[in-house]
Amino acid sequence: MYPIGLTSIAEYLERQGLRVKIINIANRMLMDENFDVEKKLKKIKTRAFGIDLHWLPHAHGSIELAKIVKKLHPETPMVFGGLSATYYHKELIEYPFIDFVMRGDSTEKLMLLLINHLKNGTHHLGGIPNLTWKDGDTPVYNPLSHVPDSLDEFDIPGYRYTIKSVFKYKNFLDPLPYNGWLQYPNTAILTAKGCTQGCLICGGSKQSYKDNCNRKVLAKRSPAKLVEDILFIQRFSRAPIFILHDIRQAGKDYVDEFFERLSKINLKNELVFELFQYANEEFFAKIEKVVPKYSVELTLETHDENIRRYNGKFNCTNAKVIETLQSALKHSCKKIDIFFMVGIPHQDYQSALDNVDFCEKIHNACGGDKRLSYFVAPLAPFLDPASPAFEDPEKYGYKKFCHTIEDHRKAITQPSWKYMLSFETDYMTRDEIVKSTYESARNLNTFKLKYDLVDKKTHDEVNEKITRSLEYIEKIDEIVAFPEQEKNQQLALLSKEMEEVNKYSICGKHELKWEVKKHYANVFSLTAIGIELLVEDILINVKQKWNAYNKRVGEASKSRT
């Protein structure tokens, strides 16, 4: 899934009269194993290419893709952007096939300045904020000074752009957000950029945004715009709408205005709310009053109150955690996803296993309510760059194996996620993080069967995959000691077997979906909206050209006078 910022950049540039295409290369490859990447890219004629490096697991793929593009189009500029690109901009600009890195979390206007420079040289590169570029072979780092405090000027996520582009560029597959979107067209709305929280392991924490993006205050999307986004999404989908980030970050007045505006529309979609901290009954009562169907997602990370307090996420007592869940269930919450994590600061092996005992405590305290769903996963494969734990690992109990972008790229090529892990902690080695993850997953699977949260078939499938995963990890441990040629041959033989095991290896296939049944995007609505937006786009372009013509006529008249 590509970052939603790509859609807002595309929408903004098209609003200014440019033509922008988003091609989800990874998804095209997943949809068709015979998809020819080079053939697809070779046909493209464009002023510039842009590749996202927002999440660090894309470090290998993004850079390899940039190499391919530059080989096919050596004279066309290559631009990188995203949170990880921002962090590693000095390293990225050293690659001969990367010409620009656009830093920061809101680069729509800056991309317009850059493209206008590439088209007609109207802006000097040294005057474009946030830009890293090359003056000959010398890297230049312009000040990171463009940090807008409002998101209302931009359409983010840009669903209007995405739908319109299907018809404008006559390609249905390229801009799809992720594999299976047409069957499960889950959507999201963005409340803010930046964060008010200080979680130690998060590269999107308050301190991380300040250090990496120079963002000192939350950039908000107004409640009016959020509701406008919801109304638009309802036109083509009945799937759940995820509200990104805890909406309470923006303050009580913001929350009240959002719910007041929601009360005035005919809300048809389920909304999914994210919680960063304890929520009282009053909050859920407000939701229940105006949202016919809603779910909640929260990342507890651990049962241990002291570790939560230290790490910053849900830094309240376990009694308050349970009270939050009980309040949500009391006020008609449809589903609650609760996530635990392995590999966080100060967590030892036993503490990781004890998370499952806390799941049982929660479940019993909430009357065995089946609306509760529980998950456990490792902090993998990497520590987030810019997170406090990454920046000062010794202080927070980490030992880092990956420092540079190349370190992370090499790690991704390793044969199992154990060898990809970019860290150990003072309390657990890589081996222990891996083993405690699978043991926790197995215990959680047993707990889910005991309370009828999964059926016997799902339980057995997950157990089988966990067993096989551990066997493969042992095999890989043996193989990595072989000479290079033999090692590569043996790993190649294993890779096909492992492919199926790696899918949904620690939970059931449908557990993470908010609703098991397929929603399907409404193709008729998508078509109607696409045609409507295309006509609107044509009229805007005609108006812009007419205004430009009148301006030239006026200037010519003044000149003659």
pLDDT at 123 > cutoff 90 = no
Mean pLDDT confidence for 332-341: 97
pLDDT at 296 > cutoff 80 = yes
Mean pLDDT confidence for 296-312: 96
Give me the CATH code for the 188-500 domain, please: 3.20.20
pLDDT for residue 154: 94
Secondary structure in 3-state letters for 415-433? CCHHHHCCEEECCCCHHHH
pLDDT at 514 > cutoff 60 = no
pLDDT at 34 > cutoff 90 = yes
Which residues are 400's β-sheet partners?
423
Comma-separated ranges of CATH 3.20.20 domains in the chain: 188-500
Pairing of strands 372-378, 398-400: unpaired
Q: Indicate the pLDDT class of residue 552, thresholds 50, 70 and 90.
A: confident
Range with the poorest average pLDDT among 42-56, 85-99, 330-344, 534-548:
534-548
pLDDT at 510 > cutoff 70 = no
pLDDT at 124 > cutoff 50 = yes
pLDDT for residue 558: 72
Range with the poorest average pLDDT among 187-196, 366-375, 516-525:
516-525
Mean pLDDT confidence for 372-400: 96
CA atoms of 212 and 363, how far apart (whole Å):
40
Mean pLDDT confidence for 152-166: 91
Q: Indicate the pLDDT class of residue 522, thresholds 50, 70 and 90.
A: low
CA atoms of 253 and 353, how far apart (whole Å):
41
pLDDT for residue 500: 66
User: pTM of the prediction?
Assistant: 0.91
pLDDT for residue 509: 67
pLDDT for residue 83: 96
Q: Indicate the pLDDT class of residue 516, thresholds 50, 70 and 90.
A: very low
Mean pLDDT confidence for 98-106: 97
Q: Which CATH class is domain 1-184?
A: alpha beta
Mean pLDDT confidence for 121-141: 92
Annotate 126-167 with DSSP letters as a single string.
GGSTTEEEEETTEEEE-------SB-TTS-SS-HHHHHHHHH
pLDDT at 118 > cutoff 60 = yes
pLDDT for residue 437: 96
pLDDT for residue 183: 76
Comma-separated ranges of CATH 3.40.50 domains in the chain: 1-184
Contact 505, 466 (CB under 8 A): yes
CA atoms of 308 and 318, how far apart (whole Å):
10
pLDDT at 88 > cutoff 70 = yes
pLDDT for residue 62: 97
